[in-house]
Amino acid sequence: MILLDGKKTSNDIKVEIAAEVTKMKANGEKVPHLAAILVGTDGASMTYVGAKVKACEQIGFVSTLIDLPSETTEVILLEQIEKLNQNSDVDGFIVQLPLPKHIDEQKVLKAINPDKDVDGFHPTNVGRMALDLPCFLPATPYGILELLERYNIETSGKNVVVMGRSHIVGRPMSILMSQKRKAGDATVTLVHSRTKDLAGFTKKADIIIVAIGISEFLKGDMVKDGVVVIDVGITRLPDATKKSGFRLAGDVDFKSVSEKASYITPVPGGVGPMTIAMLLKNTLLARERHRANS
């Protein structure tokens, strides 16, 4: 069993991007600028945005954080988005999800200029992705493709099961894995909470991508020997033996599944770091596009 080390792979990608930024600086060119809007004080969101800002500093990007209180109105948030849309110095930006309940998430995502939508959530980018046209890929699926490619995992003709149908991971992942690409050309089945005999599908899978949102859901008796497992989930579970009082678990029961898997991502240190790395890669792409069009 080989661990798919997202932490190491994401660091490799950051080193590659940092080398590009060093060249830009040497040539007196503008470096990429990533902005993030955070509304409220959701702990996970604050941690994630903090990691993005830190990653920007590491590789030489300019970063801007717009920190808004949880009572911010939808109108004020949309005004902030429009300012970033109009700011030619900002190459790409994200609005951290989830948003407070009084704000319409879809309305907010649609307000972002698709050319600056480095999260890849705007309907224009989602549509272009489905049609296999140039676009910003959603960062988590993009990170999974990159992991599969860099570990030279054969996907062509393989039976891939994607567990979960979210717009952020499951659905785009199912589309991308079926397309003609290095990490693609697979036969893809999308399963979810209403799927009957779910284990019947997972036992036949060569590759399983798990984004179902239920901790330790996929067990060893649900997979075949030699399976490749990508675990997207992350949940805090109470654990009195830990100083923090909790441990982080994925959607995969790592102990039982890893005994059968040929490759598996750990949690933490698997898909999570890749998401941030691909957000940076999308920002670099946005900067290149803006230069080409200016």
Same domain, 94 and 146: no
Q: Annotated catalytic, 182?
A: no
How far apart CA 154 and CA 20 sit, in angstroms, is 29
User: Is 58 a known active-site residue?
Assistant: no
Residues 89 and 176 in one domain: no
Q: What is the pLDDT of residues 187-199, one digit of tens each?
A: 999 999 899 999 9
Domain membership of residue 195 (yes or no) is yes
Active-site choice (14, 52, 116, 281) = 52
Residues 165 and 252 in one domain: yes
3-state secondary structure of 219: coil
Looking at the domain assignment, is residue 281 inside a domain? no
Helix axis angle for 43-59 and 6-26, nearest 10°, is 50
Q: Could you tell me the CATH number of the domain that includes residue 45?
A: 3.40.50.10860
Q: What is the pLDDT of residue 181?
A: 94
Whether residue 153 is found in the same domain as residue 236: yes
> Which is it for strands 33-39 and 92-95: parallel, antiparallel or unpaired?
parallel
User: Per-residue confidence at 125, pLDDT binned at 50, 70, 90?
Assistant: very high
The domain of 83 spans 27-113
pLDDT over 90 (residue 45):
no
User: Are 88 and 146 members of one domain?
Assistant: no
Q: pLDDT digits over 220-274, tens only?
A: 999 999 999 999 998 888 888 888 888 889 999 999 999 999 999 999 999 999 9
- Quick one: 243 and 202 in the same domain? yes
Peptide bond into 114 cis (omega under 30): no
Q: Which of 14, 80, 91, 96 is catalytic?
A: 96
54 included as an active-site residue: no
Q: Is residue 261 part of a domain?
A: yes
pLDDT at 191 (0 to 100): 97
Are 147 and 46 found together in one domain?
Answer: no
Out of 8-12, 40-44, 92-96, 170-174, least confident range? 40-44
pLDDT band with cut points at 50, 70 and 90 for residue 46: confident
Find the mean pLDDT for residues 191-216. 96
Task: Assess if residue 279 is contained within a domain.
Answer: no
**Chain Cα centroid distance, residue 60:** 21
CA atoms of 88 and 206, how far apart (whole Å): 45
118 is a domain residue: no
Q: Tokens 């029961």 identify what position? A: 253
The position carrying tokens 């005999």 is 197
For residue range 94-113, list pLDDT tens digits in order: 999 999 999 999 999 999 99
Same domain, 37 and 75: yes
C-alpha distance from residue 246 to each of 132, 206, 210, 235, 243 (Å): 41, 32, 22, 10, 8
pLDDT of residue 291: 86
In this predicted structure, the answer to whether residue 142 has a pLDDT above a threshold of 90 is yes
Band of residue 144 on the pLDDT scale cut at 50, 70, 90: very high
Q: Give the CA angle between residues 133, 170, 239 to the nearest 5°.
A: 140
Which uninterrupted H or E stretch holds 24?
helix 6-26
Q: Which of 119, 231, 251, 253 is catalytic?
A: 119
CATH of the domain at 223: 3.40.50.720
Would you say residue 126 lies in a domain? no
SS3 246: strand
Asked if residue 137 has pLDDT above 90, the reply is yes
Residues 156 and 255 occupy one common structural domain: yes
Cis-peptide, bond into residue 123, ω within 30° of zero: no
- Give how many domains the chain has, as a whole number: 2
* Chain-centroid distance, C-alpha 67: 22
* In a domain? residue 125: no
In-domain check, residue 154? yes
